[in-house]
Structure 1
Amino acid sequence: MELRYLRYFVAVAEELHFGRAAQRLHMAQQPLSRQIRDLESQIGVELLHRTKRTVRLTQAGQVFLTEARKTLACAEHAVRLAQRTSRGEIGEFAVGFTGPALNSVLPKIVRLFKERYPQIDLALERLQTNEQVEALASGQIQAGLLHPPIENDTLILETIHREGLVAVLPDTHPLAEARTEPISIKELSNEPFIFYPRHVGPVLYDRMISLCQQAGFSPNIVQEVIPQQTILGLVSANIGISLLHASAQAFAPSGVVIRQLLEPTPELELAVAWYPDTVSSVLSSFLEIVREVAFSPKL
């Protein structure tokens, strides 16, 4: 049954006059009368009792009117939802992120997104960079905040944040005393190091090893763990020291001291990533906010 039959019937049922209903529907009276007859024929029920002077609803017509109104309202609601979804005002959107993103730009991005698009269900999933690449390919997430470079030429990446490395020491370490003074990486040559596994970020991992080697030593790595909270916890427990991105100091637990390094360090890049063939209104809105936060750090 076509929705237009329901619209015709509701107009006649509310007006109880074919002439007025035809005017309301911007059509001639005779075709309207014929459409109502066709509707009654389709469902096999008389909906209207007609005389030369009056039109009134049958008992079946009264029941049908109630349900016809509900059906038309549902159809109109579906249209509005589809239109709002197309405009990026409602829907679902999944984003992957790494620990450093949580320490830097992600809270600002999420806050602005929820303020501007409260009816979009924003799902956040913490994933390593390599896991995000797989999740983007499978459609599990629609955008990722990850660390380049990656081995995928089809993804679009925009760098939105950069930060250097700092030394992370237990507060009982001799180098932890002068907390405001930078230290040289050379002073860490005999220390046990806690790193993340190389497969998590091979490029930055190799650059950190190279930083140590340029200072004349190879780091003695005693533990390789993730996530960053575990690294910080092990440092606090005096298992070793570490090199982490500078924003980690915002979440450093008690028992941990952050020291700046004298030498230039490799930078940890954070980029937003997405597939060009998955661009939608919601993704465009998300990228707009990401860029706003990236270029307006005081937000």
Structure 2
Amino acid sequence: MELLHLRYFAAVAQELNFSTAARKLHMAASPLSRRIKDLENELGHRLFDRDTHHVRLTPAGSALLPIARGVLEQVDSIKWRLDETTRPQRTTLLLGVPTGIHPDLRMRIDALAERVRDRFEVTRWPGATDRLVDAVCDGRLALTLARLPVGGDPALEQLPVMSERLGAVVPRDAFPGRESVALAELADLAYAGSPAAGTHAYFRGLDQQLSDLGIKKRITLNSATFDGVSEIVSSGLAFSISMLDPKSPMHHYRLDNVTVLPFSDFHPRLETGLLWRQDRANGGDLEEVAAAAREIFAEPLHV
């Protein structure tokens, strides 16, 4: 018995029509019928009941069909099984992701994961920038996205991946129909920092810039969330600063009476980098990933 006999049998059993099965097998119906006869003779069982109008499986044919399909599936999977056996085992890499990552940046990260998927499974791990960077330093994370600047640890390599323009988060009813806002117009409002404002160097620096430019009032929210900041802004007591691009996920936190306007006289931008340990990227276990990242992020994103 040859494998072709089983393929011919399975094709006829599926179609229950010799002519249709022959077309799918790219052969004539007469040779196909002869091969089925040869198989029946070898097995000593009639596999099909045939007349001029119908083809039906006999009890022996019904019993053979799952056996034949199982054999064919095993044979057809040989190449795939060999490929899987000889392919290097995939290693899980944890990649840190801070809150509010832009969807265009996520697409680049997805491209990086796809580029290295034969050897690595990239899994995202959420957290605040400072903690994510610490986790890269001590090896708990392989690499991380981080809001820049971060501590100047010489063991880390920083690859700039995105620059985002920031705008003023203001109560809509206080600035109806406006396309921009000047800092002087916000002097009567308190500045409510983002939840990261007290812990991250960039937002601490931004707070100082605002103070130097005449924004003196502050509202500090204990255990602040982005929802909480939006509530304060919506009430008309404060303004905040966030990503200007409407595609940013930070816009999901806006309430109905909250809008984000570009500054007319102030141009803050939030920079994001991809970080890893140099010793792991230069001749270490992340060399392939780092090389792919440098290529994919050769041109940082600007929004």
Q: Do they fold alike, i.e. is TM over 0.5?
A: yes
- CA-based RMSD of the aligned residues comes to 3.2
Alignment match of 2:204 (pick from 187, 203, 206): 206
Tell me the equivalent position of 1:146. Answer: 146
Q: Distance in 1 between matches of 2:270 and 2:128?
A: 14
Tell me the equivalent position of 1:94. Answer: 94
**Equivalent runs, 1:211-222 vs 2, <5 Å:** 211-222=209-220
Q: Distance in 1 between matches of 2:93 and 2:227?
A: 27
Q: Distance in 1 between matches of 2:123 and 2:98?
A: 14
Q: Is the Cα–Cα contact under 8 Å of residues 211 and 265 in structure 1 kept in the other structure? A: no
Tell me the equivalent position of 2:86. Answer: 80
Q: Distance in 1 between matches of 2:107 and 2:262?
A: 25
Q: Does 1:267 align with 2:231?
A: no
Deviations along 1:83-119, one digit per CA (max 9) or x if unpaired, are x24xxxx32111012124x225432123323444445
Amino acid at match of 2:244: A
Amino acid at match of 2:274: V
Structure 1 residues 260 and 201 mapped into 2: Cα distance closer, same or farther (>3 Å)?
Answer: same
Tell me the equivalent position of 1:157. Answer: 158
Structure 1 residues 135 and 295 mapped into 2: Cα distance closer, same or farther (>3 Å)?
Answer: same
* Uncovered stretches (5+) of structure 2, i.e. residues with no partner: 1-81
Q: Distance in 2 between matches of 1:216 and 1:233?
A: 24
Q: How far does residue 156 in structure 1 lie from its aligned partner after superposition? A: 1.0
Q: How far does residue 237 in structure 1 lie from its aligned partner after superposition? A: 5.8
Tell me the equivalent position of 2:107. Answer: 108
Tell me the equivalent position of 2:289. Answer: 285
Deviations along 1:119-156, one digit per CA (max 9) or x if unpaired, are 53221111212101211122221111112222222211
Q: How far does residue 258 in structure 1 lie from its aligned partner after superposition? A: 0.7
Q: How far does residue 197 in structure 1 lie from its aligned partner after superposition? A: 4.8
Q: How far does residue 274 in structure 1 lie from its aligned partner after superposition? A: 0.6
**Equivalent runs, 1:1-299 vs 2, <5 Å:** 80-81=86-87, 84-85=88-89, 90-100=90-100, 102-118=101-117, 120-151=120-151, 152-172=153-173, 174-175=174-175, 177-179=176-178, 181-195=179-193, 196-202=195-201, 204-223=202-221, 228=226, 230-232=228-230, 234-236=232-234, 240-247=238-245, 250-251=248-249, 252=251, 253-255=254-256, 256-279=258-281, 280=284, 284-285=288-289, 288-289=292-293, 291-293=295-297, 295=299, 297=301
Amino acid at match of 2:187: S
Q: Is the Cα–Cα contact under 8 Å of residues 95 and 141 in structure 1 kept in the other structure? A: yes
Q: How far does residue 229 in structure 1 lie from its aligned partner after superposition? A: 5.2
Amino acid at match of 1:242: S
Structure 1 residues 153 and 115 mapped into 2: Cα distance closer, same or farther (>3 Å)?
Answer: closer
Structure 1 residues 281 and 206 mapped into 2: Cα distance closer, same or farther (>3 Å)?
Answer: closer
Q: Distance in 2 between matches of 1:147 and 1:161?
A: 10
Structure 1 residues 114 and 230 mapped into 2: Cα distance closer, same or farther (>3 Å)?
Answer: farther
Amino acid at match of 1:164: R
When the two structures are superposed, what TM-score results if normalisation uses the length of structure 2?
A: 0.59
Instruction: Name the % identity.
Output: 15
Amino acid at match of 1:123: T
Q: Is the Cα–Cα contact under 8 Å of residues 222 and 240 in structure 1 kept in the other structure? A: no
SS in 2 for 1:164: strand
Q: Distance in 1 between matches of 2:294 and 2:177?
A: 37
Amino acid at match of 1:231: V
Q: How far does residue 267 in structure 1 lie from its aligned partner after superposition? A: 2.5
SS in 2 for 1:108: helix
Q: How far does residue 264 in structure 1 lie from its aligned partner after superposition? A: 3.0
List structure 1 runs of 4+ shifted beyond 6 angstroms.
76-79
SS in 1 for 2:241: strand
Amino acid at match of 2:135: A
Deviations along 1:224-283, one digit per CA (max 9) or x if unpaired, are 655545534553465632112334763313422110001233332111111011125655
